[in-house]
Structure 1
Amino acid sequence: MQMTLGLIRERKNPPDQRAVLSPSQCTDLLHHYPSLRILVEPSEIRAFANQDYVDAGCQLTDQLSDADWLLGVKEVPVDHLHPGKTHFFFSHTYKRQPSNRDLLKACVDKGVRLIDWELLKHNHDRVIGFGVYAGLVGAYEALRGYGMKRKEFDLSPALKLGTVSELKRSLQATNTSLRAAITGSGRVASGARDMLLAAGLKEVSPEAYLSNEQAACFTVLPASAYVQRSSDGGFNKGEFYQRPDLYRNNFLRFARCTDLYLACHYWKDGSPPFFTAEDACHPDFNIQFVGDISCDIDGPVACTLRPSTADSPFYGWNPQKHQETDLLAKGSIGVLAVDNLPSQVPMDATEGFGKAFIEQVLKPHLRGEGEDMLWQASECANGSLTNKFKHLAGYMQAMDLQDYPVSQWESLILQSIQGVRDSLETLANQGDEPTFRNTVLAMEQMGHVLDQHTSVLFNANSACTTPEIQRITQAVSAP
């Protein structure tokens, strides 16, 4: 299959040095697929030199109009979208992030096929991402912040070291007796675990961690360890994912014997917090430093007041006042809350991301396979939202609600309903043996779609008050 890939220049601020493919990966691809072309937009920011891509056999050019796929990492500025082309990047739009509403609208208006890396999944699992590198860098930086706050050891910034191997080598000079707890069981947590092992800490089970509160070690906590059903203290994974409001916090028993806490979990609205400001004021609360790698602002970790930056990654939190303070202030808890950690090891992150892209996306496509996965991750194409993402219409047009004629509102709402129906029909007709992934997780995803649809109705009902529009919203929202 003849195909042309285009590596775009990253333009978002702060600058990001990552790319989708490294020069060595381009060399291998061009060797094994003679009909493949790779165009590279010049960049003075990218971690790899322009000449490295030229030496790999790529064509360096500002003209990417011949590319079949345009590959980027961060959001593409509206003015640099290529009309009618297929763009891959992290758009941060499918959760209706307000800051990127205009980006999605521009993709639709320009006929762009937007494929979001975050939505590429196989059996409900993401096939590509930077999560492992977020965990690796986040754990290292949290260790650095802990050592700085406690004045126990001094590490160089990850931004200065630049590679995972250098981070691990730097940790060999430390001799710490700290105790650390990781919440989460995905790729982010696995990266954090790897870095704590490199620091010489021993991994133990949650039970062993609690039974010997003096030994230097770390533990990885699945959800079953940090929450319990409010009614009887039990736990059911499917139920927790569907109804987190039925569960209560069970994390504080670990907080009393933990020095460093690494938050690597997935958190959903309605889930119980890990700790509150009141909890942190209790005499038994022992956590000295929090590395919030998940970085949910005003979320389940009370001390995460704002995101920090790679240049200034740490701040202190005063739990008595629930306010930010100096990292070294007496009685404060240290906080790391950088939301673009993988960019601090751009070459390693690019290699890892590129490997997953080649194996999980590009090679199947070159074999004529995997198109369904690509469409499932396509938010828009050919000038409209795809069926799976019709529910984003209200979000996309949120600033223009009162300018809609009645007929357009009716079409908008009916499209949202049809998107839900299509998803339900696909689930009902899948024909696979029922499993946790294709039932509970699938229904959880369905619930997200329904939530978006409810939002569309709310926007219509609250922003447009003409009797005809009220009639439409009342009719479609009636039980």
Structure 2
Amino acid sequence: MSLKFGIVKELNQELDRRVAFSPTQLEELKLLYPRLEFRVESSDNRIFTDEEYESKGITVSSDITDCDVLIGINPIAPSNLILGKEYLFVTDLIKKVNPLFTLDALTSLVGTYNAFRAFGLKFELFKLPAIATFSDQATLTTYLKRPVLPPLKITFIGSEANLVGAEVIMKALKIKKVSSDDFLSKNFAQAVYTFINSPEQINLESFTTVSDICIINSSINGKSVLVSQELLNTKDGKLRVVADLNPMSTNSIACTLRQSTPEDPFYGYLPNENKEVDLHHPGAIVVVAVPDTTIEYPKETSEFIGSQLAQYYIPTVFK
């Protein structure tokens, strides 16, 4: 049996440069499964060029309608669906909380990076470029050795999977991890962070009061993390940046008044009035609330998606 897979270009998300498989991954799949054929729909936008696919022996065409299965990142409009074809859209799998597509680490990596980018912008200390500027993680971490941070305190609230991505940024910026007790009771000569994965078991106000930056997954293990207006408006609080890693799951974080976008990821929140203001307002907390940060990191996200599909989906074709 011969089966043709077509990799579609993203029609309804012009800014989404992700793709289901990298050129190298398709080359490897061809060797593993000789009965499978892969074709890539020509695109000027995706992170990997047509020429990169062709260099690996993958056919690139403007017409892939003869393929049996069509794979994309985002669902396409019903009017563009081809009768009789099978479709697989990665974002549908992610929205179903499919355990094969937990992009928690990449989401928190980008969200954590944007938190420091926001802090540098707010206080005009340094100017970090958009994360999409970097071709890969190695380039990103090398660049992050440049900024010199003041002795900030950062609270990271999320899952162990979230922490994996955040630690890439923390280590690159030479931010030391400390215990919660030390975080609350001691002063440090360097930037430090503490990790909380059970916020319901602590007094969250004690952490937000002494933190300069909070990076928060608003839903951990199905439980919402509550950050109220009153908590954000604590007298003498230092908090100046809140990065909401999951702004589409709940409205439990008061400063997340709306979702932001990769092109305009920051806005100001005035906690005493519970309203949006300019991020340079002296009383403003800068909010980062991009709902899908992996769009900003297309190369490594695509490679992650491709590895999951290659490991779990492609083998099922023969069952």
> Counterpart in 1 of 2:212?
259
> Counterpart in 2 of 1:392?
none
1:175 paired to 2:148: yes
* Larger helix fraction of residues: 1
CA contact (8 A) 2:266 2:288 kept: yes
**CA distance in 2: counterparts of 1:316 and 1:308, whole angstroms:** 11
> Counterpart in 2 of 1:154?
127
Q: Which has the larger radius of gyration?
A: 1
| Distance change in 2, residues 1:305/1:191 (3 Å) | same
> Counterpart in 2 of 1:5?
5
Instruction: Work out which of the residue numbers 324, 331, 334 in structure 1 matches 2:276.
Output: 324
> Counterpart in 1 of 2:195?
220
Q: Deviations along 1:189-221, whole A, 9 cap, x unmatched? A: 321222112211111233332342546311221
> Counterpart in 1 of 2:300?
348
Instruction: Work out which of the residue numbers 178, 191, 195 in structure 2 matches 1:204.
Output: 178
Give 1:134 shift.
1.6
| Distance change in 2, residues 1:350/1:143 (3 Å) | same
**CA distance in 2: counterparts of 1:252 and 1:181, whole angstroms:** 11
Q: Deviations along 1:155-175, whole A, 9 cap, x unmatched? A: 222133343222222210122
| Distance change in 2, residues 1:91/1:133 (3 Å) | closer
> What TM-score, normalized by structure 1, do the two folds share?
0.61
**CA distance in 2: counterparts of 1:180 and 1:315, whole angstroms:** 19
Tell me the number of residue pairs that the alignment of Structure 1 and Structure 2 aligns: 317
Task: Could you tell me which runs of 5 or more consecutive residues in structure 1 were left unpaired when the two chains were aligned.
Answer: 93-115, 229-248, 369-479
Q: Secondary structure at the match of 2:264?
A: coil
> Counterpart in 2 of 1:22?
22
1:37 paired to 2:12: no
CA contact (8 A) 1:6 1:71 kept: yes
Higher RCO structure, 1 or 2 (CA under 8 Å, sep 6+) = 2
Q: Deviations along 1:19-64, whole A, 9 cap, x unmatched? A: 0100111111112222110011111111111122122222223433
Q: Secondary structure at the match of 1:189?
A: helix
Q: Which amino acid aligns with 1:89?
A: F
Q: Secondary structure at the match of 1:29?
A: helix
CA RMSD of aligned residues (A): 2.4
CA contact (8 A) 1:136 1:164 kept: no
**CA distance in 2: counterparts of 1:134 and 1:312, whole angstroms:** 17
> Counterpart in 1 of 2:61?
61
> What TM-score, normalized by structure 2, do the two folds share?
0.90
Instruction: Work out which of the residue numbers 280, 291, 294 in structure 1 matches 2:232.
Output: 280
> Counterpart in 2 of 1:99?
none
CA contact (8 A) 2:175 2:193 kept: yes
Q: Which amino acid aligns with 2:214?
A: Y
| Distance change in 2, residues 1:198/1:265 (3 Å) | farther
1:336 paired to 2:288: yes
Q: Secondary structure at the match of 1:39?
A: strand
Q: Secondary structure at the match of 1:127?
A: helix
1:49 paired to 2:49: yes
| Distance change in 2, residues 1:212/1:84 (3 Å) | farther
Give 1:142 shift.
1.1
Identity %: 27
Task: Could you tell me which runs of 5 or more consecutive residues in structure 2 were left unpaired when the two chains were aligned.
Answer: none
**CA distance in 2: counterparts of 1:132 and 1:202, whole angstroms:** 19
Q: Which amino acid aligns with 1:365?
A: T
> Counterpart in 2 of 1:310?
262
**CA distance in 2: counterparts of 1:129 and 1:307, whole angstroms:** 21
Q: Secondary structure at the match of 1:282?
A: coil
1:137 paired to 2:88: no
